[in-house]
């Protein structure tokens, strides 16, 4: 059975985007060698990348660029080469390398991928996270808390209808102030 992991940054006040949908605050401090080594190692982790339309368009507009390839060569290679699935009812095509567009029944597609043994990672894509979390399809949440407060924004769990009980499995603190918190669904 494949494993579905969420990897997202959040602010200290719990937002994963600001009120305008911007996530650039999560990438302000790149001067921490330990953090950069972690990011590169995490990018090598494998699995199919899952996106909603908004995150897909942001990622597809950045990672294939010369700036991304020069600034973050290892991460850019992984982002560009790995298989990707974008869930969208409004996109007509997905042109980023190795991307499959799924316009119908996201839940069925994710269940099928899990049954086929495919590991998957969701980056950003709060609406995807909340829908899959409600269905009990997410196996692990890797949340990086960034030392910043936005005051307003959007959480990954905006549309959650029932309580999700989680169990902390791992923590790690970085010199730049970021804290990695890993959770699994509680039994």
27 has pLDDT over 90: no
Say if residue 186's pLDDT is above 80: yes
Give tens-digit pLDDT for 123-134.
988 889 999 999
Tens-digit pLDDT profile for residues 126-176? 889 999 999 999 999 999 999 999 999 999 998 888 899 999 999 999 999
- pTM (predicted TM-score): 0.92
Q: Which of 8, 123, 9 is nearest to 63 (CA)?
A: 123
pLDDT at residue number 6: 96
The pLDDT confidence band at residue 30, using thresholds 50, 70 and 90, is low
- Ranges of H-type helices in 27-153: 33-43, 53-62, 66-71, 73-81, 106-115, 126-134
| pLDDT band for position 90 (cuts 50, 70, 90) | very high
Q: For the residues 171-184, what does the mean pLDDT come to? A: 95
Given CATH 3.40.430.10, say whether it is the number of domain 4-172.
yes
Number of other CB atoms surrounding residue 105 within 10 Å: 11
Task: Calculate mean pLDDT across residues 108-114.
Answer: 96
State the Cα–Cα distance between residues 139 and 2, nearest whole angstrom: 9
Read off the pLDDT of residues 66-86 as tens digits, 9 standing for 90 and up: 999 998 899 999 999 999 999
Rounded to 10°, the helix 106-115/126-134 angle is: 70
Which pLDDT tens digit goes with each residue over 34-55? 988 888 888 888 899 999 999 9
Say what the pLDDT of residue 29 is: 64
């Amino acid at each position: 059975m494949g494993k579905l992991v969420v990897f997202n940054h959040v602010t200290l006040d719990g937002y994963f985007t600001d009120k305008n949908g911007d996530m650039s605050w999560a990438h302000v401090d790149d001067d921490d060698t330990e953090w950069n080594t972690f990011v590169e190692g995490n990018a090598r982790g494998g699995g199919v990348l899952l996106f909603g339309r908004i995150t897909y368009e942001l990622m597809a507009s950045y990672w294939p660029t010369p700036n991304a390839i020069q600034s973050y060569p290892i991460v850019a290679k992984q982002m560009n080469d790995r298989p990707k699935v974008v869930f969208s009812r409004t996109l007509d095509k997905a042109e980023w390398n190795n991307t499959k567009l799924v316009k119908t029944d996201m839940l069925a597609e994710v269940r099928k991928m899990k049954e086929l043994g495919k590991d998957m990672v969701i980056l950003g894509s709060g609406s995807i996270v909340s829908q899959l979390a409600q269905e009990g399809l997410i196996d692990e949440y890797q949340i990086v808390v960034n030392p910043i407060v936005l005051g307003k924004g959007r959480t990954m769990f905006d549309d959650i209808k029932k309580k999700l009980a989680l169990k902390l499995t791992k923590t790690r603190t970085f010199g730049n102030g970021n804290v990695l918190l890993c959770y699994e669904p509680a039994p």
